[in-house]
Structure 1
Amino acid sequence: MSTVQPLQRPRSIQQMLERVQHMITMESIGQAFAFEPRASDVFIATFPKSGTTWLQQIVHGLRTGGDMAFDEITEVVPWLETALDLGLDINAPQRAEPRAYKCHLPWPMIPKGGRYVLAVRDPRDVLVSQYHFWNGWFFETGSVSVEDLARGLFLNEELPFNYYRHLQSWWPERQQPQVLMLCYESMLADPQAAIRRIADFIGVTLNEALLSRVLEQSSVEFMRAHARQFDDHLLRDARDEVCGLPPGTVGGSKVRAGRAGGHVAELTDAVRAELDAAWQREIAGPLGLADYAALRRALDAGA
Structure 2
Amino acid sequence: MADGDEERAMEELKVVLHSFYTEGRKKGLGVTPRKGDVFICTSPKAGTTWMQQICHQLRTNGDMSFEEISNVVPWLETCEDIGIDVNGEQVTSPRLFKTHAWRPHLNTSEDAKYILITRNPEDSAISFYNFLNGWFFKKDSISMVTFLKFLFLERGKPQTIMNNPSYWEFLMSWWPHRNDKNLLWLWYEDMKTSHREVVKQVAEFLGYDTSNTDLIDLATENSTFNFMKEHERHFDEHTWKEANNVRCHMPQDAGLESSKVMNGGRKPKPDLRELQELLDKKWEEVVTSQTGLKNYEDMRRAHSLEKKGN
Partner of 2:287: 283
Partner of 1:265: 269
Task: Give per-residue Cα distances to partners, 1:217-273, cap 9 Å, x unaligned.
Answer: 11111111111100111111111010110022356431111539x6x7213211112
Partner of 1:256: 262
1:111 and 2:107 aligned: yes
| CA distance in structure 2 between the partners assigned to 1:270 and 1:258 by the alignment | 20
Match of 2:64 among 41, 61, 68: 68
Partner of 1:3: none
Contact 1:134-1:252 at 8 Å conserved across structures = no
| CA distance in structure 1 between the partners assigned to 2:113 and 2:157 by the alignment | 28
| CA distance in structure 2 between the partners assigned to 1:180 and 1:115 by the alignment | 8
CA shift in 2, pair 1:240/1:280, >3 Å: same
| CA distance in structure 1 between the partners assigned to 2:7 and 2:134 by the alignment | 10
Partner of 2:52: 56
Contact 1:117-1:179 at 8 Å conserved across structures = yes
CA shift in 2, pair 1:235/1:63, >3 Å: same
Match of 1:93 among 61, 68, 89: 89
Contact 1:50-1:119 at 8 Å conserved across structures = yes
1:212 and 2:208 aligned: no
1:138 and 2:142 aligned: no
Task: Give per-residue Cα distances to partners, 1:11-41, cap 9 Å, x unaligned.
Answer: 5334312212212212x12212321111200
RMSD: 1.9
Task: Give per-residue Cα distances to partners, 1:143-189, cap 9 Å, x unaligned.
Answer: 11110111111000467321011001011111111111101101211
| CA distance in structure 2 between the partners assigned to 1:14 and 1:267 by the alignment | 25
Contact 1:182-1:299 at 8 Å conserved across structures = no
| CA distance in structure 2 between the partners assigned to 1:97 and 1:214 by the alignment | 16
CA shift in 2, pair 1:158/1:208, >3 Å: closer
1:126 and 2:130 aligned: no
Q: Look up the SS of the partner of 1:267 in the other structure.
A: coil
Unaligned runs of 5+ in 1: 1-8
Partner of 2:196: 192
1:182 and 2:183 aligned: no
| CA distance in structure 1 between the partners assigned to 2:7 and 2:48 by the alignment | 26
Contact 1:34-1:111 at 8 Å conserved across structures = yes
Q: Look up the SS of the partner of 2:115 in the other structure.
A: strand
Partner of 1:236: 241
1:20 and 2:25 aligned: no
Unaligned runs of 5+ in 2: 1-5, 159-164
* Aligned-residue identity in percent: 36
Number of residues of Structure 1 aligned to a counterpart in Structure 2: 292
Contact 1:135-1:252 at 8 Å conserved across structures = no
Contact 1:13-1:152 at 8 Å conserved across structures = no
Q: Look up the SS of the partner of 1:44 in the other structure.
A: strand
CA shift in 2, pair 1:247/1:10, >3 Å: farther
The alpha carbon displacement at 1:204 in A equals 1.9
CA shift in 2, pair 1:159/1:148, >3 Å: farther
- Higher-RCO chain (CA-CA 8 Å, sequence separation at least 6): 1
What TM-score, normalized by structure 2, do the two folds share? 0.89
